[in-house]
């Protein structure tokens, strides 16, 4: 279902690659299944957290917001969104005001 479950399944998908087993539509926008070597074993139907975050940051930027911070969960999901926010802000020449 989420990141922890999918991350545990990825090595198994790679192990059974000869049987052409894939994970279809995991309920996560995480990055691990979107990068080699696991990207071949997962069929994503939703946007990545990175893409969603980039769209949100650009939306806020277009409306004049320049001071943007991040309050996130202390887990893999929170960390992936934190990294995406930092990268998305950097594309616009900004830094997070605060990260908590």
Per residue, what are the HEC states of 37-62?
A: CHHHHEECCCCCHHHHHHHHHHHHHH
What is the C-alpha to C-alpha distance for residues 43 and 67, in angstroms, rounded to an integer?
36
User: What confidence score (pLDDT) does residue 24 get?
Assistant: 93
Mean pLDDT of the chain: 93
Q: Residues 4-63: pLDDT tens digits?
A: 888 899 999 999 999 999 999 998 888 889 999 999 999 999 999 999 999 999 999 999
Q: Compute CA 21 distance to the chain's CA centroid, rounded to the nearest angstrom.
A: 23
Cα–Cα dist 3/73, whole Å: 13
The domain locations on the chain are 3-43, 49-91
Angle between helices 3-15 and 76-91 (to 10 degrees): 90
Q: DSSP assignment, residue 70?
A: B
């Amino acid at each position: 279902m989420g990141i922890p479950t999918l991350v545990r399944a990825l090595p198994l998908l790679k192990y059974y690659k000869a049987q052409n087993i894939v994970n279809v539509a995991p309920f996560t926008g995480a990055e691990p299944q979107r990068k080699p070597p696991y990207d071949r074993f997962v069929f994503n139907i939703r946007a990545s957290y990175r893409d969603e975050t980039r769209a949100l940051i650009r939306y806020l930027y277009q409306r004049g917001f320049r001071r943007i911070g991040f309050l996130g969960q202390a887990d893999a999901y929170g960390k992936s969104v934190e990294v995406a926010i930092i990268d998305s802000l950097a594309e616009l020449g900004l830094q997070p005001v605060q990260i908590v």
